[in-house]
Amino acid sequence: MILSQQEKVEYTEKMAEKNLTLIEEFILLGFSELPNFQGFLFVVLLVIYVSILLGNGLIIVISNMEPALQIPMYYFLANFSFVEICYTSVTLPRMLMNIWRQKRNISLLLCAVQLCFFLILAVTESFLLAVMAYDRYVAICKPLSYLLIMNHKMCFQMVIGSWVTGIPVLIGQTYQVFSVPFCGSNKLNHIFCDMPPLMKLTCGDTSGDEFFIYFDCVLFGLIPFLLILLSYIRILSTILKLPSTTGRYKAFSTCSSHLIVVCLFYGSGFIAYLQSKSSYSGTTDKIFSLFYIIVTPMVNPMIYSLRNKDFIEAMRKLFSKCVG
């Protein structure tokens, strides 16, 4: 039987509808390929999550209670620690629940909510890291004008700006991702609902969506990173001009903790996001994701507290009050 052109189009559309599976939920595979280590993994992740809550919570408490730490540097650090707690709480509790219940399904709505909050908090952290770099730049390069430039109003506006700048774009980005049909398997080869593994399950041509992902990476990742880089180029230039070795060491030591966190966060984030749909590797992405959702929030309190004499002294005072 010879079909007309219109009938061919209708037949093709019907076949496409049959092959298109309506996905109502995803299955987060996580580390299901390691069935014998699920109990061990649960304990490790639980310990890490508790340490993140306690460590970053301690930074927030001490930064607000100790008068000696009532300066912009610790104000930004306290806000950064709060973002780390929220950032981790979007992903880790769900991972723990999935391992405990051995039930890894998540609805499209919850997946979209998790992705949206994760992106907003990640962008907030990115901007806060840039704000903290600017704070160090002003402190080292313009010490006489530091308190004038970094006044309370300026600090508050920079923190609020870090929180709200990306919200409209990221809500739109999330809507765009979930407005594209998903087909085939509903198994999400990842530890949470993230952009790269979701794009892997979408149907048809997603080059436009990938373009917007790269655009967001440049706008909310690369630009803050370049601002951080520019700040540290200026800082390094100023430090090298200092006459005493002690002065150079002291100036650089105030920046080293921030630099370590920047390298961990941006290094793992860029590797995870700046890859195409075709080159996406689930195992590699899961490993690098652990760095920016677990490792950075976990080591942040240790990096900042153990390398900071003022913070160590403030902790001693707090503990002595508690014991006394």
Q: What per-residue confidence (pLDDT) applies to 16?
A: 47
| pLDDT reported for residue 9 | 41
Dist. CA 279–CA 214, nearest whole Å: 14
Cα torsion 267, 270, 276, 280: sign: positive
pLDDT digits (tens, 9 = 90+) for 157-194: 999 999 998 888 889 888 888 887 777 678 888 888 88
Q: Are 15 and 72 in contact (CB under 8 A)?
A: no
pLDDT in tens, 5-29: 554 444 344 444 444 456 778 888 8
Is the CB of residue 193 less than 8 Å from the CB of residue 114?
A: yes
> In DSSP terms, which residues pair with 188 in a beta bridge?
28
Say what the pLDDT of residue 13 is: 46
Supply the pTM of this predicted model.
0.84
What is the predicted pLDDT for the residue at 191?
A: 85
Q: Which residues contact 251 (CB under 8 A, 6 or more apart)?
A: 140, 235, 238, 239, 242
Name the residue with tokens 């600017």.
134
Per-residue pLDDT of 88-130, as tens digits, reads: 999 999 989 888 888 888 888 899 999 999 999 999 999 999 9
Which pairs count as long-range contacts for 268-276, CB under 8 Å and 24+ apart, including other chains?
268/292, 268/295, 268/296, 269/122, 269/126, 269/221, 270/217, 270/221, 272/194, 272/196, 273/195, 273/196, 273/213, 273/217, 273/221, 274/214, 274/217, 275/196, 276/210
Per-residue pLDDT, 208: 64
Q: How far apart are CA 59 and CA 271, in angstroms?
A: 29
- 278 vs 157, residue with greater confidence: 157
pLDDT at 145 over 60: yes
**What is the model's pLDDT at position 283?**
67
What is the rounded distance in angstroms from the CA atom of residue 80 to the CA atom of residue 210? 29
> What is residue 138's predicted lDDT score, i.e. its pLDDT?
93
pLDDT at 278: 53
State how far the Cα of 119 lies from the Cα of 292, in Å rounded to an integer: 12
Check: CB of residue 240 under 8 Å from CB of residue 220: no
User: What is the Cα Rg of the chain in Å?
Assistant: 23
Please say whether the beta carbons of 300 and 132 come within 8 A: no
pLDDT band at residue 4 using 50, 70 and 90 as cut-offs: low
The answer on pLDDT for 323 being more than 80 is no
The pLDDT tens digits for 197-256 are 888 887 766 666 677 777 777 788 888 999 999 999 998 888 888 777 776 777 777 777
Residues composing the chain: 324
Would you state the pLDDT for residue 86? 93
Count the neighbouring beta carbons within 10 Å of the beta carbon of residue 110.
Answer: 14
Mean pLDDT throughout 288-296?
79
pLDDT band for position 148 (cuts 50, 70, 90): very high
For range 270-278, the mean pLDDT: 62
Comparison of pLDDT for 55 and 10, the residue scoring more: 55
Tell me what pLDDT residue 2 has: 45
**Mean pLDDT score across all residues of the chain:** 81
Nearest-angstrom CA–CA distance, 241 and 247: 10
Q: Which of 91, 141, 123, 299 is nearest to 221 (CA)?
A: 123
Residue 202's pLDDT is 78
Q: What's the confidence (pLDDT) of residue 103?
A: 81
Regarding the domain delimited by 21-323, which CATH topology (the fold level of the hierarchy) does it fall under? Rhopdopsin 7-helix transmembrane proteins (1.20.1070)
- Cα angle for residues 214, 113, 49 (degrees, 5° grid): 95
